[in-house]
Amino acid sequence: MKRPALRRIRGPIRRPIRVLLPALAAFALALPAALLAPGPQALADSGSARTVRGAGDFADLEVTVAQTRQLVNQIVKVSWKGAAPTIDDTRYAADYLQIMQCWGEKESGPDPEQCQFGGSAAAGPGLPSRQAGAWTNTRQLDYGGLRDTAWRDGEAPPRWMPFRTPDGEEHEGNYNAFYDLNSTNEVPYARTGNSGRGEVFFEMQTSAEAPGLGCGEVAAAGAKPRGCWLVVVPRGEKEVSGGPYRTDGDNGMLASSPLSPSNWAQRLVVPLEFEPIGIHCPLGAAERPTSGHELIAEAVLRWQPTLCAGARRTVYGFNQLSDDTARSRLASDDPRLVFLNRPAPLDTLPQGAEPLYAPVALSGLTLAFFIESRSPSGAPEEVRSRDGNRITSLNLTPRLVAKLLTQSYGFGNHPFAESTRGNPLNLMGDPEFLEHNPDFEGLDFNGALGDAMVPQSIADSTWQLWEWINSDPAAREFLNGIPDTKGEHGEESYTGMKVNPNYRDLALPISDFPKSDPFCVRFDDRPDNPLCTIDRHPYALDMHTTARSVARGDTLARMEWDPGSPGTSVPGYKKSPPQAAGQRALLGVTDTTSAARYGLVTARLQNAAGNFVAPTGRSLLAGAAAMRPSGVPGVLSTVPTAKDPQAYPLPLLSYAATVPERLTKAEGADYAALLDYAVGDGQRPGTANGTLPAGYVPLPEGLRAQTAGAADALRARAGTGPHSTPGPDDGSATQGASGTSTAGGGDAGGVGGTDTSGGGDGATGASGDDGAAGTPAGGDSAAPVPVADAQPTASTPGHLLGAVRFALLIALITGLAAAVCGPLLPRIAPRLAAARRSGRTAPLPAPGEQGTPHGPEVVPATE
């Protein structure tokens, strides 16, 4: 069985030199930063949504898949209309859809044996609590007394529809070595509402997550990646016998598998095109390793295929590391290029090692969620009618987030724990939460929403989240042991809820998420195997894994006791199955790009002005505009106490950093080329390789100007220090890198692994009233948002300023320069042409705007 591809590209490193132009570099350092103003960026649209229609009994059915091209491992919205409302939707008796992903090379679509389906049957017939007919979520074709009329008289149907892989392997049964209950992406039951409409958020899987399908695999460099199919089997009220489901089915429900011939004949198929898995770059391409925090992974790995296919033929590998590790690299003799959020303290760096910082991406930290409405028994019809529908709004204060992160709700660890006695079990029992979220009134999420899934990795983004909590007086008082109170002056308590004493007086900010409650559930029949916090509420590996797990309804918990079998397995707690479709309720801490990729809705966080704000294009830019100098030249810090009512409190800037004097000239030139691309075409939103993934916001021109100047300074300073090591005379980078990169990221998530970034227009990104940073599922972009009023400004050190981008100014002084620097002009011309091609030349600022460069005219914004 193939293992999920890791999100890392490695290769040997050599230190070559490419001779640059010292005189031109010196000339470049003299021009003002106010002239750095690249042109506006246009919104991107994948344009790959596809609608298919049913036939026969389902002639009115129309199914739309929001994105069908440039796919990676991501969530895509599948919606439909013209279907009959699901009958007895608490049990899925009849009239629903069954959706699966398949491979197949015929133009007409796949055969049933090529589809990933049946894994959910491990949870029992029709899912837990007998929610549907006995064989409806299986590959079984033998139904006892029920017989498909497609089989000729006397013909015995096979017991199973086998599963066949592209390599020709065949497997019988519902699950096999290629997929199971915890890995399958099938949707066995998709509900249709009373309006005849419905929607699901389907996980597209590449060969990394579904090796039995092989979607996106590339046979050889330059070959087209393997395409796949989305198959929708509509189920009506007739059984395969031709009779009504009420009598011919299973206890008043449909009984047969969607893979049964009569059901399969009604299928709708949609072709899917995937980004390539495997070889992106030409063999023999040069490699320049980069490393750093997770926030930049999606962008760098989306840019990589375009960069290595260009004239430089350079592979920019990416190794995911913590911000702390990235900072430590800056103090080494081999800094390469790292990505981080906060700068290295000056007192931690050796003398003469002055890092250069360049902003390359703007995103945000968020609490993202997938919550489907769920009502208790006896709820009013108005409430019950919303069961299974996805909730799209959630407001969180710093104190509510503090409650979730400190295991202060009963379901944050276990209701029997003494540490939470007297506290609400989850958000639904907290009057503070319901005051800010009245739409949750009357719902019941028993056992869920008592905490938030969090990544295990140590990160600056976590530090920023805790700083936001710590800056709020009410949250800080709660952490100090004061019960939650109403009103500005705390004159009345909500419930008297107190912080879990294991977290009282927690010193903040910190860079991790402690799980400090030691309570364990103990069992008489297995006294040596207690069930503790890490079993019930484990960490996700990183934010990517957090987002994917939340989207799949996968708590990652290990609570299923397996007594083991002598000689084959040992006793222990095994992985619990994902929550059933229609009953998912999870939220987690992640970044806006991962949230957009996996179709999650993002919570509105309360800012210092008292407003609840989602991480949209406008609010992230407003939050970035409120950033303040960090004390290290060229680096800004997030300000969670910004009073701008539109500002999102947790915007995050990713900086590229290196120490140029410790690089060779060739390394400096290659890394500078990456910076050039990052703030040029790399800021163009889209789903194709080379573009900016959903969840990022294009950088304002002031920050792009800083990076453009940093690229020139990097070229000028590289190779001039005592630690730089000359390389081969030809100045080439390391040869022989495969340039391998993969789409997706399985449960391994990504620390130290490789992943082509993706996400895109098919997923619901970070949401908000004024538009999302990501692109919505099947939605149209909102009107362009002007951002001239929301630009972060930063002083740019003189040594960062770049001259070659200013064709107009250079043209004016050409006469003088010719007399003094005549020999340099033939070298300047190619640089100017490259600058114009990258779109980094622009008119001077308008009168009155000197020193505050224009921002992009539009940013990604959606309803």
Q: In angstroms, rounded to a whole number, what is the distance separating the alpha carbons of residues 755 and 277?
A: 9
H or E element, residue 235: strand 228-235
Estimate the crossing angle of helix 825-837 against helix 814-821, to 10 degrees.
Answer: 140
**What pLDDT is stored for residue 378 in this prediction?**
87
| DSSP 8-class letter at 684 | S
Mean pLDDT value of segment 453-474: 97
Mean pLDDT value of segment 426-435: 96
H or E element, residue 382: helix 381-384
Q: How confident is the model at residue 674 (pLDDT cuts 50, 70, 90)?
A: very high
End-to-end CA, the chain: 42
Q: In angstroms, rounded to a whole number, what is the distance separating the alpha carbons of residues 817 and 590?
A: 52
Q: How confident is the model at residue 781 (pLDDT cuts 50, 70, 90)?
A: very low
Q: How confident is the model at residue 42 (pLDDT cuts 50, 70, 90)?
A: very low
Buried b (16+ CB within 10 A) or exposed e, 221-255: eeeebbbbbbbbbbbbebbbbeeebeebbbeebbb
Question: 487: exposed, middle or buried (C-beta count within 10 Å: 0-12, 13-18, 19+)?
Answer: exposed
**What pLDDT is stored for residue 758 in this prediction?**
37
Q: In angstroms, rounded to a whole number, what is the distance separating the alpha carbons of residues 845 and 682?
A: 23
**DSSP string computed for 300-355:** HHHHHHHHHTSTT-EE--EEE--HHHHHHHHTSS---EEEESSPPPGGGS-TT---
User: Could you tell me if 771 and 618 are in contact, meaning their C-beta atoms sit under 8 angstroms apart?
Assistant: yes
Which of 23-37, 292-306, 833-847 holds the top average pLDDT? 292-306
Question: 650: exposed, middle or buried (C-beta count within 10 Å: 0-12, 13-18, 19+)?
Answer: buried
Q: How confident is the model at residue 751 (pLDDT cuts 50, 70, 90)?
A: very low
Which of 10-14, 51-55, 218-222 holds the top average pLDDT? 51-55
pLDDT at 28 over 60: no
- The set of residues, in sequence order, having a beta carbon less than 8 Å from that of 654 and lying 6+ positions away, is 292, 293, 295, 296, 299, 339, 340, 341, 359, 360, 361, 362, 363
pLDDT at 27 over 60: no
**What pLDDT is stored for residue 721 in this prediction?**
81
Tell me the torsion sign for CA atoms 216, 219, 224, 226.
negative
Q: How confident is the model at residue 308 (pLDDT cuts 50, 70, 90)?
A: confident
Buried b (16+ CB within 10 A) or exposed e, 138-170: bbbbebeebbbeebeeeeebeebbebbbbeeee
User: Could you tell me if 685 and 44 are in contact, meaning their C-beta atoms sit under 8 angstroms apart?
Assistant: yes
pLDDT at 561 over 50: yes
Q: In angstroms, rounded to a whole number, what is the distance separating the alpha carbons of residues 316 and 757?
A: 14
Q: How many angstroms separate the Cα of 746 from the Cα of each of 78, 181, 528?
A: 22, 15, 32
**What pLDDT is stored for residue 803 in this prediction?**
32
Question: 387: exposed, middle or buried (C-beta count within 10 Å: 0-12, 13-18, 19+)?
Answer: middle
Count other Cβ atoms within 10 Å, centred on residue 736: 11
**What pLDDT is stored for residue 492 in this prediction?**
79
Mean pLDDT value of segment 170-181: 93
User: Could you tell me if 707 and 360 are in contact, meaning their C-beta atoms sit under 8 angstroms apart?
Assistant: yes
**What pLDDT is stored for residue 798 in this prediction?**
31
Q: In angstroms, rounded to a whole number, what is the distance separating the alpha carbons of residues 779 and 761?
A: 8
Helix (H, G, I), strand (E, B) or coil at 179: coil
When comparing pLDDT for 483 and 757, which is higher? Answer: 483
User: Could you tell me if 508 and 470 are in contact, meaning their C-beta atoms sit under 8 angstroms apart?
Assistant: yes
Q: How many angstroms separate the Cα of 556 from the Cα of each of 3, 180, 590, 606, 790?
A: 19, 15, 15, 29, 39
Helix (H, G, I), strand (E, B) or coil at 705: helix
pLDDT tens-digit map of 478-523: 999 999 988 766 667 888 999 999 999 999 999 999 999 999 999 9
Count other Cβ atoms within 10 Å, centred on residue 388: 21
pLDDT tens-digit map of 520-540: 999 999 999 999 999 999 999
**What pLDDT is stored for residue 289 in this prediction?**
95
Helix (H, G, I), strand (E, B) or coil at 666: helix
User: Could you tell me if 853 and 34 are in contact, meaning their C-beta atoms sit under 8 angstroms apart?
Assistant: yes
Mean pLDDT value of segment 534-549: 97
Backbone phi, psi, residue 482, to 5°: -85, 130
Q: In angstroms, rounded to a whole number, what is the distance separating the alpha carbons of residues 759 and 32?
A: 38
Q: Tell me the β-bridge partners of 377.
A: none
Q: How confident is the model at residue 780 (pLDDT cuts 50, 70, 90)?
A: very low
Question: 458: exposed, middle or buried (C-beta count within 10 Å: 0-12, 13-18, 19+)?
Answer: middle
User: Could you tell me if 7 and 297 are in contact, meaning their C-beta atoms sit under 8 angstroms apart?
Assistant: yes
Mean pLDDT value of segment 641-655: 97
Backbone phi, psi, residue 485, to 5°: -130, 160
Buried b (16+ CB within 10 A) or exposed e, 68-105: bbbbbbbbbbbbbbebbebbebebbbbbbbbbbbbbbe
Mean pLDDT value of segment 573-583: 89
pLDDT tens-digit map of 186-197: 999 999 999 999
Helix (H, G, I), strand (E, B) or coil at 805: coil
H or E element, residue 287: strand 285-287
Q: In angstroms, rounded to a whole number, what is the distance separating the alpha carbons of residues 636 and 627?
A: 6
Q: Is the peptide bond preceding residue 509 cis, with omega within 30 degrees of 0?
A: yes
**What pLDDT is stored for residue 443 in this prediction?**
95
Mean pLDDT value of segment 699-713: 97
Question: 55: exposed, middle or buried (C-beta count within 10 Å: 0-12, 13-18, 19+)?
Answer: exposed
**What pLDDT is stored for residue 840 in this prediction?**
35
Q: In angstroms, rounded to a whole number, what is the distance separating the alpha carbons of residues 846 and 701?
A: 14
Q: How many angstroms separate the Cα of 161 from the Cα of each of 138, 259, 267?
A: 9, 7, 16
Give alpha helix (H) positions in 488-598: 533-536, 543-552, 592-597
Q: In angstroms, rounded to a whole number, what is the distance separating the alpha carbons of residues 591 and 759?
A: 13
Which residue's structure tokens are 């009345």? 492
Which of 290-294, 574-578, 738-742 holds the top average pLDDT? 290-294
Torsion, Cα 664 666 668 669, to 10 degrees, reads 160
pLDDT at 832 over 60: no
| Mean pLDDT (the chain, rounded) | 80
H or E element, residue 572: strand 572-575
**What pLDDT is stored for residue 279 in this prediction?**
59
Torsion, Cα 522 524 528 530, to 10 degrees, reads -20
User: Could you tell me if 414 and 519 are in contact, meaning their C-beta atoms sit under 8 angstroms apart?
Assistant: yes
User: Could you tell me if 774 and 861 are in contact, meaning their C-beta atoms sit under 8 angstroms apart?
Assistant: no
Count other Cβ atoms within 10 Å, centred on residue 820: 10
Mean pLDDT value of segment 121-138: 73
Mean pLDDT value of segment 89-109: 92
Which of 566-580, 638-652, 759-773 holds the top average pLDDT? 638-652
Q: In angstroms, rounded to a whole number, what is the distance separating the alpha carbons of residues 861 and 756?
A: 24
Which of 294-303, 782-791, 844-853 holds the top average pLDDT? 294-303
Structure tokens at 623: 């939050």
Buried b (16+ CB within 10 A) or exposed e, 771-803: bbbbbbbbbebbebbebeebbbebebbebbbbb
**What pLDDT is stored for residue 488 in this prediction?**
65
Helix (H, G, I), strand (E, B) or coil at 851: coil
pLDDT at 294 over 70: yes
Mean pLDDT value of segment 716-731: 65
Q: How confident is the model at residue 124 (pLDDT cuts 50, 70, 90)?
A: low
